[in-house]
Amino acid sequence: MTEIIKINPTSPEPALIERAAEYIKQGKLVAFPTETVYGLGADAFNADAALNVFKAKNRPPDNPLIVHISSMQQLGMVAIGIPANLEKLAEKVWPGPITFILKKSERVPYAVTGNMDTVAVRMPAHPIALALIEKSGPIAAPSANLSTKPSPTTASHVINDLNGRIDAIIDGGNAFFGVESTIISLIGKPVLLRPGPFTVEELESLFGKVTIPEEVRIASQSEKALAPGMKYRHYAPDTPLFVVYNCMEEVVKELDMLHISYSIICSNETAAELGKTSHAILLGSRSNMYEIAKNLFSALRSIDDLKSKFCLIEAFDERGIGLAVMNRIKKASSLSGIYSKAGIDAIFSSIGSTPA
Ligand code: TXA
Ligand code: MG
């Protein structure tokens, strides 16, 4: 049985936080909201609890968890060899959607770090998460989805994936950003491992030059991975998904002429241009990429319900949070992108059917 605990996201009820923190301290698993996505929390110093997180999610054991803290004092409990300037910089970005890779302290078990000597640490900017961690101590938490599914941005996503598999789920409403935190390695020169809401532009204003490996932009479901978790299949619906670059109108025209049925995920503007406002899954206005980011994972989760043969998704500019949005879209999609109506042939060959 999974207990659902509804907590006020702006002023969390202390008694309810206390109860959830007690569960964490007892080694139980509690899903909780953060400003990025929901996390599946366990005591960061309890190896057995961490192993249960992997079991509940069907997560491969070499894909390490992020340790969530609520104070700089807790940073010293989980990491060692902290770069001299980090505390000053961290004060500017924490609490917030950015995760640092540092050397792990002895107290953090290898079960949490996937057997690595490094640890991912972040201080989430969510009143429920902060209040919970303050009471329980550091919490190891991956996103609270089943492995390969999109990260949950609402409690109902968590319930769909993990009900009956974990001890409790805190329902604190919608996550604010809707994509997972930016990950930056500070082992050596700063390297971006995962783009997120904290943008490259913002990172560089604090850290100077940040290396952005090619894999971050290509973002295929390839074996070559930066963060260990990035090599696994992610976000992908069962329905084949194709990213369409600047040619949605001609592709859609062609498909409609051939009387092919399919679904579309796109911005409000594109849907209006196509005359498909009532058929498309809308991500919001493309003039506000934060809105697009916030709605993306819900949209990806809803594709399979439509039972269509395939789905098209609009490509966005890779600037600001757009880099994170496109990284997740590419990981969810089946093929390299569609760049013109000639790309339709690739769709047909990949889904194994012809237009006739
Ligand atoms: O926004 C977020 O980061 C959310 C919320 C819950 O905080 N968490 C999240 O966790 O997205 P998860 O487990 O889904 O993604 C963590 C990523 C994985 O790709 C993992 O491989 C990487 O962080 N990671 C964790 N520890 C690492 C380490 N020591 N070195 C490199 N990558 C690491
Ligand atoms: Mg995840």
The alpha carbon of 145 and the centre of ligand 2 are apart by a number of angstroms equal to 7
For the chain, 356 residues long, the average pLDDT of each consecutive 10-residue run is 97 98 98 98 98 97 96 97 92 97 98 97 98 98 96 98 98 98 95 96 92 86 57 76 95 92 96 90 97 98 91 96 96 84 88 68
The alpha carbon of 235 and the centre of ligand 2 are apart by a number of angstroms equal to 9
HEC secondary structure over 93-157: HCCCCEEEEEEECCCCCHHHHCCCCEEEEECCCCHHHHHHHHHHCCEEECECCCCCCCCCCCHHH
Per DSSP, what are the bridge partners of residue 184? 100, 192
- Residue 231: predicted pLDDT: 57
Taking CA atoms only, the protein residue closest to ligand 1 atom 17 is: 229
Ramachandran region of residue 101, left (φ > 0), alpha (ψ -120 to 50) or beta?
A: beta
In one-letter notation, the amino acid at residue 270 is: T
Cβ distance 176 to 97 under 8 Å? no
In one-letter notation, the amino acid at residue 140 is: A
Distance, CA of 132 to CA of 76 (rounded, Å): 19
Looking from the CA of residue 228, the nearest atom of ligand 1 is: 21
- Residue 235: predicted pLDDT: 80
| Residue 268 vs residues 110, 212, 245, 282: alpha-carbon distances, Å | 46, 31, 16, 6
Interacting residues of 4 by C-beta distance below 8 A, sequence separation 6+ = 155, 159, 168, 169, 171
Mapped onto helix, strand or coil, the DSSP state of residue 5 is: strand
Burial 289-326 (b: 16+ CB within 10 A, else e): bbbbbbbbbbbbbebeeeebebbbbbbbebebbbbbbb
Cβ distance 79 to 117 under 8 Å? no
Cβ distance 254 to 262 under 8 Å? no
- Residue 223: predicted pLDDT: 43
Looking from the CA of residue 120, the nearest atom of ligand 1 is: 26
- Quick one: DSSP state of residue 64? P
User: Nearest 10 degrees: CA dihedral of 82, 88, 92, 96?
Assistant: 20
> Tokens standing for 293?
């980011």
The alpha carbon of 114 and the centre of ligand 2 are apart by a number of angstroms equal to 14
The alpha carbon of 87 and the centre of ligand 2 are apart by a number of angstroms equal to 26
The alpha carbon of 343 and the centre of ligand 1 are apart by a number of angstroms equal to 34
- Residue 215: predicted pLDDT: 87
The alpha carbon of 40 and the centre of ligand 2 are apart by a number of angstroms equal to 10
Ligand nearest to the CA of 37: 1
Ligand 1 pocket: which of 183, 194, 222 to mutate (most atoms within 8 A of CB) = 183
Residues with CB under 5 A from ligand 2 (ion): 143
Q: Closest by alpha carbon to 335, among 241, 195, 267, 230?
A: 241
Cβ distance 273 to 290 under 8 Å? no
> Tokens standing for 272?
């209006």
Looking from the CA of residue 63, the nearest atom of ligand 1 is: 21
User: Ligand 1 pocket by C-beta < 6 Å: which residues?
Assistant: 34, 36-37, 39, 63-66, 99, 101, 113, 116, 118-120, 122, 124, 141-143, 151, 180-181, 183, 193, 227-230
* Helix H or strand E encompassing 87: helix 86-93
Q: Closest by alpha carbon to 315, among 287, 297, 337?
A: 337
**pTM for the whole thing?**
0.95
Cβ distance 194 to 215 under 8 Å? no
Taking CA atoms only, the protein residue closest to ligand 1 atom 12 is: 142
- Residue 221: predicted pLDDT: 59
The alpha carbon of 65 and the centre of ligand 1 are apart by a number of angstroms equal to 5
Per DSSP, what are the bridge partners of residue 338? 244
Taking CA atoms only, the protein residue closest to ligand 1 atom 18 is: 229
